[in-house]
Structure 1
Amino acid sequence: MLIAVIDIGSNAVRFVVTDQTDSDAARNLPVVFQDRARISIFDALASSKDKRISSSVMSKLRVSIERFDKICRSLRVPDENVTVFGTEASRTASNAPELLNMIQDINAHWDVSLLSPRKEATYGAMGIAASYYEVNGIFMDLGGGSIQISWVSSVGGTFRMSDSAVSLPFGAAALSQSMRMMKMNDLRSQIASAFHSAFKTIKLPFPLKGANLYLSGGGFRGLGCLAMSVLSDDEYYPVPIINGYCCTLRDVEKVSQMQVNDKMSDKLEDVFRISKRRASQLPGVLILTQALIQTAPNLGSIYFCQGGIKEGFLYSQLEDDVRRKDPLVTCTIISAKPACAKIFDLMVYAMSSFTPMYISKRILPAAVNLLYYHSSYTKDVQATSALTIAVSGALSGTFGLSHVDRALLGIVLCERWGGEVFDERVLGRLCELVVSETKSGQGLAYMFWSYYISKLSAVLVDLFPAGVVDDPGRVSIKLLTDEPDLVVVELTLVKDDPFVVSSWDRIESLEKKVNKFKKKYSISNVPRMQFKLHLE
């Protein structure tokens, strides 16, 4: 089922067509077509004494929307599946009815409306929920004219948010105007006071101290791109995707303290994914960020999101059982060979109770689905292509993944193919990302268990190299010992089976490889692994 959305925002008009036919893939909001028209209704209203959308801007809107109408027809999107909505700027335009009539004139069968502040906040929060597997914290959606603030929770497919979301007139474009009319200290104090009141109004169900913060909207995405550049020092940041980027409040504070002056925007344009317009608005965003830190100096992790109002609308159309699905698994399941189900069942028996659930419940099934993906590649590029599959490869455009998801999935698959890559720096930076962006010091443990999965799964693939299970009894796995300092795994294999014989060297070296990895990186919070091999 194809669904199309036109999101008439303050700074731009966004168009998207998604395919929700497959119940698994639907969780990733798969894009068939997307586009963006740089038409700023906010600027049009700002230059109008009576807050009207000018005839020239209206003409540009008509051309863009007529173009999208033809695209929808060429893709055979049913008219009843096209939704058009305007947000803050459209809602406040004195000639908003004229805008709606113009759109209905283009296609009378479309669902066209102006979102209420409450509905806009709801779709914004749902856009955050769509951006990750699970979310729980404060969300802020920075538009051109306003910023929406609420708390959001989406766990196990159950979505909740504040009944009293707040909209403040501090959008990215609005802040640029305010900076020309007010002293920065006065503006910062005004915003901080508004934030203080907003946090009371939204009635947080959790302490403000330590709460996660989810940031969406073009202005905040610019802040995230700047953070990736500034915080990486002389090294490049290895994932060129804003959605899923995570850093600490102290990191954001460091970025926000950059000197704000007229020359700043010229330098910002050199930063990856910061346009001229976004660069011109970033000084105001930094003032906003300073006010936020002043108001809430003890926030937890900061998560940047691509998901906005249109993604939130699409997410709202999904059934609860689809929302519950893990986007990391749903984006990989289409690539699974028949043998992957057998290998996954075997791997589950090899998991310890000390294996982090993130690894056993999310990384493991996703990685197993892709074990054969690079089989047709030449040996020269198998490990390298596998490493970057979710960073710049086939899954880089997949929605709903964190940067740690992308890095670990690539690392597991890379090591499954031997780990010899063209550029060791890429592997090193992705490993550093996992360690630095993982909470509670679990980064090295994640690396260990990922390495363990990669080496054991490589053995199992050798036993079923064609991706089909010709003999289910060729191998069985049993967990014999599961202690904090020792895990013993028994592999029972069929004696004289040609697949077992040809793989025997790799099977025998399993224990040595895994424990050597643990020792090399001095990983203390994981057990020593022992493999008992039994032939029958």
Structure 2
Amino acid sequence: MSDNVITLDNIGQKLRTWNPMTKSQLFAIVDMGSNGIRFSITSLAQPTTRLLLPVYAFRAGISLYGVLDSNDNLFPEETINEVVEVLSRFKQTSIQFGVPDDQFMVFGTQAMRSADNADAMLAAIQQRTKGITVSILHPLVETLLGAVMGCRSGLVNADGGALFLDMGGGSVQMTWMDTRQEDYAIISASKGVSLECGAVKVMEMLDSPFKEDLLEELNDGMLSAYDKLCGHFPDLKAIRDAYEDGDENAKFNIYMCGGGFRGYGSMLMHNDKASPYPIASTNAYTAPGELFKDVKRMARVNEEYGGRIFGMSKRRRYQFPAITAVVEAFINAVPNIRQASFSGGSNRQGALMMMLPAQSRESNPLDVLAPFHQDERATFDAVSELLQDALPSQVDFSETPTIFTAGLQDLFVQEIWGRGGFDKYANAAFALNNAVQRDPDAPGLTHFGRALLALTGSARWDGHLGPMDAKLFKSLTCIVRNHSKDATLWAVYIGAVAYVVATILPALPMSADEVKNAIRITSDIKVGEDKKHTVVLTIGVTPSDNTKGINLEELAGYIEKVARRRGRKNSKFAISAEINLLS
């Protein structure tokens, strides 16, 4: 089996390098996980290469690790037959899609590494599927492809560093990653840790007569793993030391992937303040640290709630005590969690990321979602800069996110002049729903980002929301307020200012100069005797045929009304707007 093992030393030879000139850009990958086998076909065609666009996917509920436990660490013939059949079927599917043989890959993980008759499984697959070979991932490579690059595939970046974890059926991988570092992927993987505490493995512990001793070993192992990571990564150690010295702000973000952790994410979504939760995917969901650490509540809900929990299969509900045991051990070792984000990435996405050249791998996926013609760039930049002029310089927006700090300005500006011929009420609803539903699971487009886009985009239209959309707006507002109590105000405020811009310039401007010559915006903060902060917004409009008959006072009133009705709650800011004709 040693010839089939992918290590950090040989991964460059084992994984083919992506060639943009290859006729077929479809890649089929099988991840033989310990708790299930996942199959996917992905397109790396340009210009959407970085998005890893899914073409086809399914999951076979074959628990390889589970059958080892009940069969003396051997794969029974029945399981081998099941695996051969499902691989044969997927191979035929990939042929029908047009995937070349050399772009078909199969990866084995913890169960394949530990089974006493793994060679028999490998031989049966190769002989009975007309040549399919399985590559066994070394634990550090599983860290690289799963916890590191699998999670990384869904992010713009992880600048500043974060802790990354992957939980399968047999093991948990954990490491620290800072995407500012050169060769961060290999460094993070080589210094990562792997613990044999996957969901199936821990269920065995919970059923053991030595349960308490085994759980104590789990806690000790997690603490030891964290100590080891702190020894490898000085930035992580510095944060831990500061926290232990009393700095309550010394916290960091964590990113989690793998079926076990995604199950925990589904339970967090079920208990989120945004209820009912408006986005139908755990991928790119973020939970505040306090909610993430409320493990006992999550365990209680799993036991007591008799209804269906979105994203939780019967098997995942059954395994949830094992998942919470791992999460609790992790929190005991790592209490200073700012927020936890969940990723749909896996070994499959991680492998594709490693095949890409650095320029493609490190590119911003949001740029791909908002493509511009080169001659439009200057105009859209001018509009973006104009909207940013409405944000007072006295406000620190590093702690209060907007579409600009979140890197979503291009996605928003693109939509300002769209759908101008449709009813404003329909447009307000469309903007709200489109932000939630567009580009499912697109890298870089988080739940929080979608909520920001939805609130900002809806406010761009002077339209009321119907009862169902009002509920959606309320849920999306909760997501935004989880990050900052003022973020909702700034979202609807920017949208309202965009409404004014589109009223003065009803057609998409043809040049940056047209934008700059038509409208000027200034903003300031005025602090009253009651310590209330008022944003003083002044918009100057150049007189033209476009401005004739427009009630500028009503336009200014719209900005104030939207901010007051949709964003003022719990915010320390009020809005005062004035629109004048420039002389």
TM-score, structure 1 length as denominator?
Answer: 0.86
- Partner Cα distance (1:73, 1:272) in 2: 33
Once the two structures are overlaid, the 10-residue window that deviates more, 418-427 or 320-329, is 320-329
* Alignment-derived partner of residue 249 in structure 1: 289
Once the two structures are overlaid, the 10-residue window that deviates more, 208-217 or 82-91, is 208-217
**In the TM superposition, what whole-angstrom CA distance separates every residue of 1:110-129 from its partner, at most 9, and x where no partner exists?**
77411111100011111122
Match of 1:139 among 159, 164, 169: 164
* Alignment-derived partner of residue 225 in structure 1: 266
How far residue 366 of structure 1 moved from its aligned partner, in angstroms, is 1.6
Quick check: 1:390–1:396 contact (8 Å CA) kept in 2? no
- Partner Cα distance (2:525, 2:131) in 1: 64
Written as runs of structure 1 = structure 2, the 5 A alignment for 1:282-301 is 282-301=320-339
Quick check: 1:158–1:320 contact (8 Å CA) kept in 2? no
Aligned to 1:151, what secondary structure does the other structure show?
A: strand
- Partner Cα distance (1:413, 1:73) in 2: 42
Match of 2:107 among 64, 81, 85: 85
Matched, 1:390 2:435: yes
Aligned to 1:388, what secondary structure does the other structure show?
A: helix
Q: Measured at CA, do residues 376 and 180 of structure 1 come closer, stay the same or move farther in structure 2, by a change above 3 Å?
A: farther
Quick check: 2:267–2:298 contact (8 Å CA) kept in 1? no
- Partner Cα distance (2:259, 2:448) in 1: 22
* Alignment-derived partner of residue 152 in structure 1: 177
Q: Which runs of 5+ in 1 are unaligned?
A: none
- Partner Cα distance (2:324, 2:136) in 1: 30
Question: Residue type of the partner of 2:492?
Answer: Y
Match of 2:207 among 180, 187, 207: 180
CA root-mean-square deviation: 3.3
Aligned to 1:389, what secondary structure does the other structure show?
A: helix
How far residue 480 of structure 1 moved from its aligned partner, in angstroms, is 4.9
Q: Measured at CA, do residues 447 and 139 of structure 1 come closer, stay the same or move farther in structure 2, by a change above 3 Å?
A: same
* Alignment-derived partner of residue 197 in structure 1: 224
Written as runs of structure 1 = structure 2, the 5 A alignment for 1:498-513 is 499-501=546-548, 504-505=550-551, 508-513=553-558
Matched, 1:495 2:544: yes
Aligned to 1:301, what secondary structure does the other structure show?
A: strand
- Partner Cα distance (1:370, 1:407) in 2: 15
How far residue 28 of structure 1 moved from its aligned partner, in angstroms, is 2.6
- Partner Cα distance (2:569, 2:307) in 1: 42
Question: Residue type of the partner of 2:192?
Answer: A
Q: Measured at CA, do residues 350 and 114 of structure 1 come closer, stay the same or move farther in structure 2, by a change above 3 Å?
A: same
Quick check: 1:219–1:285 contact (8 Å CA) kept in 2? yes
Quick check: 2:257–2:342 contact (8 Å CA) kept in 1? yes
Q: Measured at CA, do residues 267 and 452 of structure 1 come closer, stay the same or move farther in structure 2, by a change above 3 Å?
A: closer
Quick check: 1:347–1:457 contact (8 Å CA) kept in 2? no
* Alignment-derived partner of residue 490 in structure 2: 449
**In the TM superposition, what whole-angstrom CA distance separates every residue of 1:272-316 from its partner, at most 9, and x where no partner exists?**
221111111001111222222222333321222222221222222
Quick check: 1:407–1:433 contact (8 Å CA) kept in 2? yes
Aligned to 1:154, what secondary structure does the other structure show?
A: coil
Matched, 1:416 2:454: no
How far residue 419 of structure 1 moved from its aligned partner, in angstroms, is 4.5
- Partner Cα distance (2:445, 2:84) in 1: 35
* Alignment-derived partner of residue 475 in structure 2: 429
How far residue 61 of structure 1 moved from its aligned partner, in angstroms, is 1.5
TM-score, structure 2 length as denominator?
Answer: 0.79
Q: Measured at CA, do residues 310 and 31 of structure 1 come closer, stay the same or move farther in structure 2, by a change above 3 Å?
A: same
**In the TM superposition, what whole-angstrom CA distance separates every residue of 1:99-151 from its partner, at most 9, and x where no partner exists?**
33444457778774111111000111111222232333212211101111111
- Partner Cα distance (2:328, 2:266) in 1: 17
Quick check: 1:215–1:302 contact (8 Å CA) kept in 2? yes
How far residue 389 of structure 1 moved from its aligned partner, in angstroms, is 1.8
Quick check: 2:84–2:129 contact (8 Å CA) kept in 1? no
How far residue 378 of structure 1 moved from its aligned partner, in angstroms, is 5.5
Q: Measured at CA, do residues 420 and 483 of structure 1 come closer, stay the same or move farther in structure 2, by a change above 3 Å?
A: closer
Identity percentage of aligned residues: 25
- Partner Cα distance (1:305, 1:108) in 2: 34
Written as runs of structure 1 = structure 2, the 5 A alignment for 1:356-375 is 356=397, 358-359=401-402, 360-361=404-405, 362-372=407-417, 374=419
- Partner Cα distance (1:478, 1:155) in 2: 37
**In the TM superposition, what whole-angstrom CA distance separates every residue of 1:490-525 from its partner, at most 9, and x where no partner exists?**
5443512xx4437x33x5544333344555516766
How far residue 450 of structure 1 moved from its aligned partner, in angstroms, is 2.1
Q: Measured at CA, do residues 312 and 162 of structure 1 come closer, stay the same or move farther in structure 2, by a change above 3 Å?
A: closer
Q: Measured at CA, do residues 532 and 67 of structure 1 come closer, stay the same or move farther in structure 2, by a change above 3 Å?
A: same
Written as runs of structure 1 = structure 2, the 5 A alignment for 1:311-322 is 311-322=349-360
Once the two structures are overlaid, the 10-residue window that deviates more, 236-245 or 322-331, is 322-331
Q: Measured at CA, do residues 64 and 522 of structure 1 come closer, stay the same or move farther in structure 2, by a change above 3 Å?
A: closer
- Partner Cα distance (1:165, 1:350) in 2: 43
Match of 1:35 among 58, 61, 83: 58
Q: How many residues align?
A: 520
Quick check: 1:340–1:368 contact (8 Å CA) kept in 2? no
How far residue 56 of structure 1 moved from its aligned partner, in angstroms, is 1.6
* Alignment-derived partner of residue 211 in structure 1: 252
Quick check: 1:30–1:399 contact (8 Å CA) kept in 2? no
**In the TM superposition, what whole-angstrom CA distance separates every residue of 1:165-189 from its partner, at most 9, and x where no partner exists?**
1111111011111111145543332
Q: Measured at CA, do residues 73 and 379 of structure 1 come closer, stay the same or move farther in structure 2, by a change above 3 Å?
A: farther
* Alignment-derived partner of residue 531 in structure 2: none
- Partner Cα distance (2:118, 2:181) in 1: 39
* Alignment-derived partner of residue 56 in structure 1: 78
- Partner Cα distance (1:159, 1:476) in 2: 47
How far residue 213 of structure 1 moved from its aligned partner, in angstroms, is 2.1
- Partner Cα distance (2:572, 2:130) in 1: 63
**In the TM superposition, what whole-angstrom CA distance separates every residue of 1:342-389 from its partner, at most 9, and x where no partner exists?**
244223134144473653251322211233555576555322222122
Matched, 1:400 2:441: no
Aligned to 2:88, what secondary structure does the other structure show?
A: helix
Q: Which runs of 5+ in 2 are unaligned?
A: 1-24, 244-250, 528-534
- Partner Cα distance (2:374, 2:548) in 1: 23
* Alignment-derived partner of residue 318 in structure 2: 280
- Partner Cα distance (2:68, 2:554) in 1: 69
